[in-house]
Structure 1
C-alpha cells in the first residue's frame, strides 16, 4: 500500500526567507515554463495559486522571476511542440498539468527539471519509477482519482437510494496503457459493489457534451459522474447547465464544479496542489534533484454541495450529508 504524504504547507514559510535572500544576493532571474492543456482564462485560479505560492517563497515576477506560458487550448496534439518551445527558451524548470502535458515535457527534455502540479498515476503512466524515488527529471503532486470512485458512488447512493445506472464522462487519451485498464476495472468494481453499472461517454471535443448528456437522459441514467480531466474542467458550467436541463444529478471531483452549478463534488482541492507545486520549484532551484524528491499525495478531501441545483432537480439532500460537507452553496 502506498503511504500518502501530507502536503508540507508549513515549508512555505521555512524556505521563503532564505530563497528570497539568495535571489537578491545573486541577482538571478529564474525562468519557469508552464505547459497548460487548456487556456489561461479557464486556468486562472490554478495559475493564481502557483504565483502566490512562488511569491510566498520570495519569487516575484518582474523582479527575480519570469514565467513563460504555453497553452494547448484543449488540443493534446499541440503539447509536444509547445514543450519543445519551452526547452528552446532555455527555462530553468517546467511546470505541467495532467498526464498528457507531463508526458510531452518528459519527451522534450531529460535534463530540465519538471514539476507536475497535478497528475494522475505517474508510476503506471510510465512517467516516474516510483512515488518515493521518482528518478529522472520529474516530480510533483499525484491525485489518484480512481481511488475516490467508490466514495463518490456512495454519495450518489446516499442522495439517490435507487440509483443503478451511472454515466461517466471521460476524455480519451488522457491516460494510457495500464492506467486506463486498471482505472476502468476500479470504477467497474466500485460500481458493482453497490449494485450499479457505469456507462462511459468519451468526450473528444466540446460538441460531444450535448449529445452525451442527451443520450444519458434518453437511457434514463440516474446520475452523472466525472473527474478532473482538463477538457471537462474547462466546460464545468456547460456540463452543469445541460445536466439540470436533462434533470441529471451530477457528482464531480472538484469543488469548482459545484461552484459552476454541479450538484455535489468530492475530491482534492486542485488549486492547492498548484500552490504546493511552488514548494517543489523552490527546492529544485535551491539545488535538489527531482529524482530525489518524493511525489506527494493529498490526504485532505473536500465535499461540496450546491443546494440551488438540488432544488432545481427536485432533490432533497440528506441532513447527514450536509453536516459532513465542507462547503454548501445555497
Structure 2
C-alpha cells in the first residue's frame, strides 16, 4: 500500500513539474521592468497609477512582494537604449509602454524575457506577434486599436464639423504605425470628400511651428490628433494651441477632450494599463506569453467638451451627442 502511494506521488510530481517549472521560485521577489516615455503629464501619472492599482488588486505590494524598475525615455528615440538596460537587469517581466515604439524597442532588446506591451496599435501588422489569438515568442499584451480606427476618427470630426473641407493631421512621422495610419486616412478622406494636410511633429518644440503653418492658407477646418506618445503627453499643450488658432481638434484618445480638445475618442488608456497587471500576474505564475492571446479593446469612450465647442462657436449635432460617454460642460 505504501509502495503504491509512493509511486502515485512520484508520477503526480512528474506530471505537475512542467506546470510550475516556469513560475517564480519560492521566496524570490519578482522584478518588473516598466518602460515608458514620461510620468510627468497628468495622463502619464494616471496610467502609471492605474498599473500600480492593477497590481494591488491582485495582491502585490510594491517594494515588498514585487519590485518595479522604472525607465522613462522622455523622448521616443531613447526607448531602445532603456529597453536594453532593463534586459541587462534581467527583470522577470518587461512591460512596454510608449505605444508601438516602446513595444518594438522591447521586442528588439530580448527574445527570452517575457514582454507585455500596452496600448499598441496593430501588433500583427507591426510584426510584434504572429497572431492575436496565438502571439508566439516571448511577447503578448493589450492592443489599442487597428489602423482602421483612424478612419473612424476622421468620420467623427466630419460629423461634428460638417463644413470642414480640409483637415490637418497632427502626428509624428517617426512613429512605426504612421505610414499605415495615413493609408487608412486616405481611404476615409476620399469617401468623406475631405482633403488632408500633414502637420508633422517629432518633438514638443515643433508644436508651435506646426500650428503656425496650419493657420496659413489654406486653413484647415479641423485637426485630427493621432494617438502617439508625443501627442498623448503633450495633449494639454496641443489643445491650448488649437484653441488659440480657433481650430476644432479631435484627439485619438478620450483624455484629449479633458485636456481641452473638442472631442476625444478611443479605448480607455487607464483601463488598458490596469489590465496589463493581469498579464504580468499570469506570467509571474508560470504562463507563457506565447499562449496568452492579445487583448483587444471592447469599449471605446467618446468624450465631448462643450466648453470648447462653445468657445469655437460650434453646435455638436444630436447624432454625435447621443454617442457621448462623457460630456464636459
1:166-315 matches, within 5 Å, as 166-175=167-176, 179-218=177-216, 219-315=218-314
Q: Which residue of 2 aligns with 1:152?
A: 153
Q: How many angstroms does 1:145 deviate by?
A: 4.8
How far does the alpha carbon of each residue in 1:289-330 deviate from its partner, in whole angstroms, 9 at most, with x for none? Answer: 101111111111011000111111111112332222100000
SS in 2 for 1:324: coil
Q: Which residue of 2 aligns with 1:64?
A: 65
What CA distance in whole angstroms lies between the structure 1 residues aligned with 2:73 and 2:32? Answer: 17
SS in 2 for 1:67: strand
Task: Please report the TM-score for the alignment, with normalisation by the length of structure 1.
Answer: 0.88
Q: Which residue of 2 aligns with 1:95?
A: 95
Q: Which residue of 2 aligns with 1:129?
A: 130
Structure 1's unaligned 5+ residue stretches are 1-21
Larger radius of gyration: 2
**Are residues 207 and 158 of structure 1, via their aligned partners in 2, closer, same or farther at CA, if it must alter by over 3 Å?**
same
Q: How many angstroms does 1:272 deviate by?
A: 0.8
Q: How many angstroms does 1:180 deviate by?
A: 4.2
What CA distance in whole angstroms lies between the structure 2 residues aligned with 1:246 and 1:136? Answer: 47
What CA distance in whole angstroms lies between the structure 1 residues aligned with 2:78 and 2:151? Answer: 34
User: Contact between 2:41 and 2:234, CA under 8 Å: does it hold in 1?
Assistant: no
Aligned residues: 304
* RMSD of Structure 2 on Structure 1 (CA): 1.7
Q: How many angstroms does 1:222 deviate by?
A: 0.3
Using the TM superposition, name which of 48-57 and 136-145 deviates more. 136-145
Residue 28 (structure 1) aligned with residue 36 (structure 2): no
**Are residues 145 and 260 of structure 1, via their aligned partners in 2, closer, same or farther at CA, if it must alter by over 3 Å?**
farther
What CA distance in whole angstroms lies between the structure 2 residues aligned with 1:313 and 1:41? Answer: 26
Structure 2's unaligned 5+ residue stretches are 1-22
Q: How many angstroms does 1:159 deviate by?
A: 1.9
What CA distance in whole angstroms lies between the structure 1 residues aligned with 2:197 and 2:85? Answer: 39
Q: Which residue of 2 aligns with 1:6?
A: none
Q: How many angstroms does 1:77 deviate by?
A: 2.7
SS in 2 for 1:146: coil
What CA distance in whole angstroms lies between the structure 1 residues aligned with 2:119 and 2:151? Answer: 21
What CA distance in whole angstroms lies between the structure 2 residues aligned with 1:180 and 1:316? Answer: 31
